[in-house]
Structure 1
Amino acid sequence: MRTIRHIVDTRAAEQPEKAYLIAPETGRTLNYGKLRRDARRLAAFLDAKGVRPGETVCLMMHNGYQAADLFLGIMYAGRVVSPINLLAQPAQLEYVLDHSDARLVFVAEAYRERLEAALARLDRPVAVEAIDVDAEALFPELAEGGSLPAVGEDDAALLMYTSGTTGRPKGALLTHRNVVAGGRFTSDAHELTESDRVLCSLPLYHINGQIVTTVAPLVHGGSVVMPHKFSVSSFWELLARHQCTWFNVVPTIVAYLLNEPDQRVARRELDLSRVRFGRSASAALPPNLHQAFERTFGFGIIETMGLTETAAPVFSNPLDPAKRKYGTPGRPFGVEAKIVDREGRALPPGEIGEILVRGDNVMKAYYKDPQNTAKALDADGWFHTGDLGYRDADGFYFVTGRLKELIIKGGENIAPREIDEALYRHPAVLEAAAVGIPDANYGQEILACVVLKPGSRCSEDELRGFCLNELGRYKTPKVIRFVDSIPKGPSGKVQRLKLLEI
């Protein structure tokens, strides 16, 4: 039975005292037995609050003991969990609370004022329950739920709103089958077992943090170390202290770790012998950044790719370092994939088209949005990712950009990622992202935004000359703008269209 309840019950029966989660700020450990007891008490609490099975419960909080406990417990109890992006602007927050049909919101005190301001603008009541993310128990006075509602594989479990760059966010509705499949595909791709422990660096309001570092350990019976947030200064120390065997990051974190000289020295004094690999997802990992990290720290990084609509994993590089490739998220794992042209015809290796995927992890629908659901999911179950790419002769997929972000200059298609990667090769560049801008002569020209490494100096003319050598005149950015930061979503994925607002 592929439901969160079945897996929690199985783990609690087989290994009740085994640690599932470690909260480093307090030192508290949540074992599998308590995870089930907490979930059953939560079911009783939701019954008492009048939240019926299948209704939506939102979470608005940073990572921690109760964030994970509630995230899994809500699904266990037969309700739909919908974590809220803490970076959401007021209008977006109001929209998600309304559109999701939320009946109850669990909120950490730090975000309560923002939440209540948004709820005040709704025309229906939504219950609020303020909690301490570090608390060991929320409802100690309640008995474990007596009669739990039936939960099936095709019942809704998770409602995740995409962090799109334009328009209103879409709510990807994922079933228990989808959520469990995402955790299973992650576990199988990396051959994870009960002895594995992951350091969670990403927020639980993003699909990566939810599936890869919260659901996957549950599926393979491992454990997760979950600090409140990522910190460069504590990253290596947490890995060593808690004897983690792998870590989950995004390219931005890779860049921060690589460009923090003090941490390079500090980690040499730590015992990191149990660490087997790192995993990167949510945005493309530039090959030069990838290779520099591996050379500097001695840990291999497995580049992967996932989507909100696919409960995270789609592609993964092999576990065997000798079989990995740089610049690609790897081969399909657990899913089928293909490249198609604008008419939907499958393309051979080497030809660029849209990437489509199909599998047990693909969402049920966009919530209350049949029009966009029909555009994204065809009659045969193929999900249109909106990503452009190609596959090579070995079956590895390469992502060249987004359909909506493709730069068309004088009729020629230019992938923004090609510009990004050229700029990343300059020794002074920490981050870079390109986007198309209107041009009277070519239709579009190229704007590149660049963040320099601390202490580095570089002029626009120097970077333009570098690009001329790397890219040629036609693909060299017309405008290079130095900025303090690149706009990103919660996963670290660059939001290119927001570059136009800088």
Structure 2
Amino acid sequence: MAAKKLTKSYIHVPRKHPFIGLTVGQQLYKMADKYPDKEMFVFYVDKERFTFKQMKEKSQQFAAALISKGLKKGDTIAIWGANHSEWIVAYYACMQLGVLLVPMRLEFPSSTVVALMNKLHCKAMILTRSPSNLVESAYECFPEFKNTSADHFKSASCPDVEFIITCCVPTLNLSSKRGVYSYDEFMTLGNETDMDNVIEVGMSLDMDDPCCMYFTSGSTGMPKPTVHSHHAMLNNTVVFGFGFRAEVENFDCDWDSGRFMAGITFSGGLFGVFLPLIRGCTTIVLYPIFDAEIMAEAIQNERVTHGIAMIHQIHDLVNLPNIETYDFSNFKLMCIGGSIIPYELQQKMNKLVQYTTINFGMTESMILFLGHPLDPQDKLDDAALYPVGGLETKIVDENGRIAPVGTVGELHVRGYSMFKYYMYDDVKTKEIKDHNGWIHSGDLAVMDKDGFIRIKGRIKEYIIKEGLNLAPAELESVLYKHQTVHAALVVGLPDERVGEEICACLRVDKTDPPTEEEIREFCRGKVNVKLIPKHVIFLDTFPVTATGKFSRIEVIEIVTKKLNL
């Protein structure tokens, strides 16, 4: 808590632990030397286990193969698929070379994947071993992938792509002449010279170089590629890894012998990837497919001590009919990401784990605020979060001035964990990151006199479902293409399981009105699958604001009553 009571909504929290001045690759080498035979990753569903030494060697082997194919610092390659060991191997390999791995989320439509790969000039695509329909989706992106017999792979839709690595088609007759490799075949391409070059390049990189990329959603619905440095990724993880907020003393959080459960996909989360590099703990990977029964089983069988999960996963876990039969005696702390956890759900979780806490962050800044089990009870009850060490936070009014404490305004943050830029988009970068380095979050928040933050809403019209920021405009633009739709407004409605659920509000032609299911079917394949509306509400008129725009607030009130929420 702030040493003195605040009067203005500005706080800088000192950082307790020193910065790590290495790159991810350099830190991996260090930890592999320190813990060569200790488990680094357990892929629970795949029944695969990797020590620190094995992960270092595998990733160097993959990096050597990338060098043999001419990849160099600044290049980009895409990966598409679920959480498997090949994801991590490729990720660490790219970070040792200064190559950016572009993580395509499974819910992206094929058209979005193609658009992003072209925008980012991806030179290759990696397909993981699941899900089962991934190959068909890849055929939609690259028709040549199915039938090509050319000497070199060439895609009309993605002309920058030079080769594909596939882990999901072991029976395909693959040949390097076609530029299509199986994972095992690709791992053999690098020679000793290439391996020497991996180490040389890895040691020459700087901590402020671009390290990795994560996608967020823009106001038009097209995901924005957010680039982060090695320094930002490693040091933001330090905050998370030293007791879920290092500035709070007297909390026993033994990470060195910890077993961390990663309940978030690699394409959308970082802690499962980076925590072993910081504390030498073991990450237990649950995916490729989330299942609450598998989560409970993994917590018991792998003696999980700490974890992070999204609100919908926690909902499913605590509501398992046989949850009391599992042994959670080692499970100490669960951090909830993506949404503010309802009090009732938190109480259920507290029966399974010693402590439950929440976090808040942005793709552009990573973790900003954390709850802590030792926070004052009134702060915990009010879902108030405290800034992590090393960051500055302020709340500004409509004129951009720092607001008095207790006043709602826009949340601005600044510090070491801020993103570098949106790749190939200087305009949007400058829209959110000002010349003084402040990130304008677009979130409404209030700071109290102790420096705790309460999130009050969003200036932006994002809907947060299962921890993902979803843009209503993406679905609205598709709905307007339906021949019977005259007006469309997409809003988020509170949902106990996923945080917010999608509701499409429509004014349609009454001569031939569509059904709710017809609307959903019309949207499938055209938008992110998470945007397919659970609720479809037909309205005769839409309330409007004084400026003539549809009033989202009033529409939410109307549909909430209609659905008895």
TM-score normalized by the length of structure 1: 0.79
Structure 1 residue 240 corresponds to structure 2 residue 300: yes
Equivalent residue number for residue 139 of structure 1: 187
Identity, % of aligned positions: 19
Equivalent residue number for residue 259 of structure 1: 319
Higher mean alpha-carbon deviation, 13-22 vs 87-96, is at 87-96
Aligned AA for 2:309?
V
Indicate the SS of the match to 2:197. coil
2:122, 2:161 within 8 Å by CA — same for their partners in 1? no
1:124 paired residue among 160, 167, 175: 160
1:162 paired residue among 187, 206, 216: 216
Task: Give, in whole Å, the separation in 2 of the partners of 1:406 and 1:15.
Answer: 43
Equivalent residue number for residue 27 of structure 2: 7
Indicate the SS of the match to 1:401. strand
Taking a change above 3 Å as real, the CA distance of residues 476 and 397 of structure 1, as seen in their structure-2 partners, is farther
Equivalent residue number for residue 264 of structure 2: 202
Aligned AA for 1:356?
H
Shift of 1:308: 1.1
Indicate the SS of the match to 1:339. strand
Listed one character per residue, the Cα deviations across residues 446-466 of structure 1 (whole Å, up to 9, x for unaligned) are 345xxxxxxxxxxxxxxxxxx
Listed one character per residue, the Cα deviations across residues 361-391 of structure 1 (whole Å, up to 9, x for unaligned) are 1100111111111111111111111111111
Listed one character per residue, the Cα deviations across residues 4-25 of structure 1 (whole Å, up to 9, x for unaligned) are 0111011011111111001223
1:221 paired residue among 264, 280, 284: 280
Taking a change above 3 Å as real, the CA distance of residues 73 and 10 of structure 1, as seen in their structure-2 partners, is same
Equivalent residue number for residue 408 of structure 2: 352
1:199, 1:224 within 8 Å by CA — same for their partners in 2? yes
Shift of 1:166: 3.2
Shift of 1:322: 5.4
1:361 paired residue among 417, 437, 461: 417
1:273 paired residue among 329, 335, 346: 329
2:216, 2:224 within 8 Å by CA — same for their partners in 1? yes
Higher mean alpha-carbon deviation, 326-335 vs 274-283, is at 326-335
Structure 1 residue 288 corresponds to structure 2 residue 344: yes
Taking a change above 3 Å as real, the CA distance of residues 133 and 80 of structure 1, as seen in their structure-2 partners, is farther
Listed one character per residue, the Cα deviations across residues 220-245 of structure 1 (whole Å, up to 9, x for unaligned) are 11110113232111211101111111
Equivalent residue number for residue 437 of structure 2: 381
Shift of 1:332: 0.7
Structure 1 residue 115 corresponds to structure 2 residue 171: no
Taking a change above 3 Å as real, the CA distance of residues 329 and 22 of structure 1, as seen in their structure-2 partners, is farther
Indicate the SS of the match to 2:338. coil
1:326 paired residue among 375, 381, 391: 381
Task: Give, in whole Å, the separation in 2 of the partners of 1:440 and 1:165.
Answer: 20
1:389, 1:399 within 8 Å by CA — same for their partners in 2? yes
1:56, 1:101 within 8 Å by CA — same for their partners in 2? yes
1:63, 1:133 within 8 Å by CA — same for their partners in 2? no
Equivalent residue number for residue 460 of structure 1: none
Equivalent residue number for residue 480 of structure 1: 562
Higher mean alpha-carbon deviation, 317-326 vs 356-365, is at 317-326
Shift of 1:274: 1.5
- Structure 1 vs Structure 2 CA RMSD: 3.0
1:340 paired residue among 354, 376, 396: 396
Task: Give, in whole Å, the separation in 1 of the partners of 2:96 and 2:169.
Answer: 19
Listed one character per residue, the Cα deviations across residues 155-179 of structure 1 (whole Å, up to 9, x for unaligned) are 1111222134633221111111121
2:312, 2:498 within 8 Å by CA — same for their partners in 1? no
Shift of 1:348: 2.1
Equivalent residue number for residue 52 of structure 1: 72
Higher mean alpha-carbon deviation, 285-294 vs 392-401, is at 285-294
Shift of 1:125: 3.2
Taking a change above 3 Å as real, the CA distance of residues 184 and 440 of structure 1, as seen in their structure-2 partners, is closer
Taking a change above 3 Å as real, the CA distance of residues 30 and 379 of structure 1, as seen in their structure-2 partners, is same
1:39, 1:77 within 8 Å by CA — same for their partners in 2? no
Listed one character per residue, the Cα deviations across residues 26-80 of structure 1 (whole Å, up to 9, x for unaligned) are 4321111112112221221011111112211211121122222222221123211
Aligned AA for 2:562?
I
Higher mean alpha-carbon deviation, 174-183 vs 187-196, is at 187-196
Indicate the SS of the match to 1:439. coil
Equivalent residue number for residue 461 of structure 2: 405
Task: Give, in whole Å, the separation in 1 of the partners of 2:158 and 2:462.
Answer: 37
1:405, 1:436 within 8 Å by CA — same for their partners in 2? no
Indicate the SS of the match to 2:98. coil
Aligned AA for 1:439?
P
Aligned AA for 1:173?
V
Indicate the SS of the match to 1:34. helix
Task: Give, in whole Å, the separation in 1 of the partners of 2:502 and 2:168.
Answer: 41
Taking a change above 3 Å as real, the CA distance of residues 54 and 242 of structure 1, as seen in their structure-2 partners, is same
Aligned AA for 1:371?
V
Equivalent residue number for residue 306 of structure 1: 361
Taking a change above 3 Å as real, the CA distance of residues 433 and 65 of structure 1, as seen in their structure-2 partners, is closer
Aligned AA for 2:361?
G
Shift of 1:401: 1.3
Aligned AA for 1:16?
P
1:33 paired residue among 29, 44, 53: 53
1:246, 1:275 within 8 Å by CA — same for their partners in 2? yes
Taking a change above 3 Å as real, the CA distance of residues 345 and 126 of structure 1, as seen in their structure-2 partners, is farther
Greater relative contact order (Cα < 8 A, sep 6+)? 2
Task: Give, in whole Å, the separation in 1 of the partners of 2:85 and 2:37.
Answer: 16
TM-score normalized by the length of structure 2: 0.70
Task: Give, in whole Å, the separation in 1 of the partners of 2:62 and 2:355.
Answer: 40
Taking a change above 3 Å as real, the CA distance of residues 82 and 435 of structure 1, as seen in their structure-2 partners, is same
Shift of 1:198: 0.9
Shift of 1:126: 3.8
2:89 paired residue among 59, 69, 89: 69
1:249, 1:281 within 8 Å by CA — same for their partners in 2? yes
2:357, 2:372 within 8 Å by CA — same for their partners in 1? yes
Task: Give, in whole Å, the separation in 2 of the partners of 1:356 and 1:45.
Answer: 43
Equivalent residue number for residue 469 of structure 1: none
Indicate the SS of the match to 1:128. strand
Task: Give, in whole Å, the separation in 1 of the partners of 2:498 and 2:59.
Answer: 43
Q: How does 1:384-463 map to 2 (within 5 A)?
A: 384-405=440-461, 420=494, 438-440=542-544, 444=551, 445-448=553-556
Listed one character per residue, the Cα deviations across residues 422-466 of structure 1 (whole Å, up to 9, x for unaligned) are x86xxxx98665989740488625345xxxxxxxxxxxxxxxxxx
1:28, 1:136 within 8 Å by CA — same for their partners in 2? no
Higher mean alpha-carbon deviation, 436-445 vs 119-128, is at 436-445
Taking a change above 3 Å as real, the CA distance of residues 170 and 441 of structure 1, as seen in their structure-2 partners, is closer
